[in-house]
Structure 1
Amino acid sequence: MDYESWAENQETSTVSVDEHDLEVAYYDDGDGEPVLFCHGIPTSSFLWRDVVPSLADEYRVIAPDMVGYGNSAMYDGFDRSIRAQEEMVDGLVDELGLETVSFVGHDLGGGVALRYAAHRPDAVETLVLSNAVCYDSWPIETIVTLGLPSTINEMSVDDARELLEGMFRETRYDDPDGAFVEGMLAPWDSDEAIVSLSRNAIGTNTSHTTEIDPSEIAARTLLLWGVEDEFQPIEYAERLEDDISGATLVGVDEASHWVMADRPDAYTDHLREFLDGA
């Protein structure tokens, strides 16, 4: 699926985050038990294009664009931290009338999932974390630099997209297909979007994961991790496995940070097996 087709299948809802009414775009398909997917920085829900549609035969799959990302609200003037994204998810779950969800989170979305599962244990039956930010594993230097006003003020839209394209191409395990790169770049196509990217980057706050005690997570937990990741090394998954009671760690070989894009079939198979066992 290309980005245009993905965007055409998105719906929108208005969610209150810190008293800001923000538009949230999300992919929603299927009629089974709900599974919510949350992406990270600097991506969008399109990251899940090879995983989410293939699960819709058995589950209701919901993949929002975090606020400040994708086709969700991008204007300047609201919080985009994972604490705020947790509030967005809570509002969207409420808007959709869901009592419980299985939560799949990647990168920053994994940090959101950790917080949500810790703070709302009755709402999360199953938790899947993939190359997720946790403890003090983040932010990485590239993202910190992007968040500096002095950096972004000197960048044109083309400059920023060139930087992002290099990141996506260089950090995939294999050469990425054109649809992946084009889809990852598609939302970052305006001055407003580039400012939003910078605000997203400056909102990366280590305290929002160090304040969470993973040992308090009650959900069945799968750590589905690309083993070649340099951003969020698998040692952090091993630490989570030690701290979360009963957690299962599955390392996906020949996969880097973008594990669901590097090895979509293996990723989906492991995820479906875990969800089916809930």
Structure 2
Amino acid sequence: MTLQIGGEDEEEMDYTKTYIRLLNTNIYCEHAIQDKPPILLIHGFVASSYTFNRLKPMLANDFSVIAIDLPGFGKSEKSTTFTYSFDNYAELVLKCMDHFQLDEAFIAGHSMGGQIAMYTAIKSPRRVKKLILFCSSGYLPRANPYLIYSSYLPFFQLIAKRKINAQSVVRNLKNVFYDHSLITKDQIEEYGKPLQDKNFPKSLIRLLRHREGDLSSNELRNIHIPALLLWGEEDKVVPLTIGKKLCQDLPNAQLISYDKAGHLITEEKPNELWKQILSFTGVRMK
């Protein structure tokens, strides 16, 4: 499929959209593999690689771009056997790099994807060239033990399914956008369709059971890989205060924030993020 990159004067880039098999799970993947530095994009909770829809074609001017839908989300398998832990998600990221024969890559994650990116850095620091964290989740504890226990009761799945059905995709998008005029029908469709999968509630329940707490301050201080933190100052989901704390705990981090931007900063400030990523990674702008 051919996507237009940047403005009208930019060249076009061919993206391959396919499924790959990782950790016994079918993973939806979009990639533009070139003779350029690789960057791997990880989306957040109840999202997909569509999170990077505007940023991805810009990055393809200077990077080999790989974007995956995590198990349980987007177009990937809503597996009822996958272990939905951050550690296992990080293992999947490394297996994805193996699939494309990458020794190392820039790892970029949005929201929960940022936490997975940092888990990947802890798990295999030599393979993570630099970290790019968009409004990354941080300091969230593991789910309440009572809630985890309750998830094994027969009625819990019905409650989860009912709650998902009651959620309004438009309302959720309004919560992650500062500028509501940027919300499109395509976004509503892309973020809403995976929720209709019959196994989606099951995968969310497994995530509830398996998800560790976010990395602690002590664990974060062991990540010496350079990290760029990019934040929306109007983020209602992961406030800027979390970004400031992460920047203090990560030994080699810098934080850049943008006014009039919310949690889905990749949609609201793609040009600004692209320029910062090029500068941070050392990739020369054309």
Q: With structure 1 as the length reference, what TM-score do the two structures score? A: 0.84
Partner of 2:244: 238
**Given the alignment, which residue of 13, 16, 19 partners 1:12?**
19
The range that moved more, 122-131 or 72-81, is 72-81
Answer with 1 or 2: which has the greater Rg: 2
CA distance in 2, matches of 1:212, 1:81: 20
SS in 2 for 1:10: strand
The root-mean-square deviation of aligned C-alpha atoms, in Å, is 2.8
Check if 1:73 corresponds to 2:80: no
Which structure 2 segments of 5+ residues have no match?
4-14
Contact 1:102–1:124, Cα closer than 8 Å, also in 2:
yes
Contact 1:28–1:61, Cα closer than 8 Å, also in 2:
yes
Change (3 A) 1:38 1:62: same
Runs of 4+ in 1 over 6 A off after TM superposition: none
CA distance in 2, matches of 1:68, 1:211: 28
**Given the alignment, which residue of 179, 184, 206 partners 1:177?**
184
**Given the alignment, which residue of 111, 116, 129 partners 2:120?**
116
Partner of 1:191: 198
**Given the alignment, which residue of 177, 193, 218 partners 2:224?**
218
Which structure 1 segments of 5+ residues have no match?
2-7
The offset of 1:23, in angstroms, is 1.6
Partner of 2:28: 25
SS in 1 for 2:165: helix
CA distance in 1, matches of 2:235, 2:211: 19
**Given the alignment, which residue of 86, 93, 101 partners 2:90?**
86
Partner of 1:227: 233
Check if 1:265 corresponds to 2:271: yes
Q: With structure 2 as the length reference, what TM-score do the two structures score? A: 0.82
Equivalent pairs counted in the alignment come to 263
Check if 1:47 corresponds to 2:56: no
Contact 2:176–2:237, Cα closer than 8 Å, also in 1:
no
CA distance in 1, matches of 2:269, 2:217: 32
Contact 2:27–2:76, Cα closer than 8 Å, also in 1:
yes
The range that moved more, 85-94 or 166-175, is 166-175
Change (3 A) 1:253 1:30: farther
CA distance in 2, matches of 1:140, 1:41: 15
Q: Spell out, residue by residue over 1:175-212, the C-alpha distance to the aligned partner (whole angstroms, 9 max, x if none).
A: 11222222111222222233324433454431x52386
Change (3 A) 1:169 1:9: farther
Change (3 A) 1:161 1:276: farther
Contact 2:164–2:195, Cα closer than 8 Å, also in 1:
no
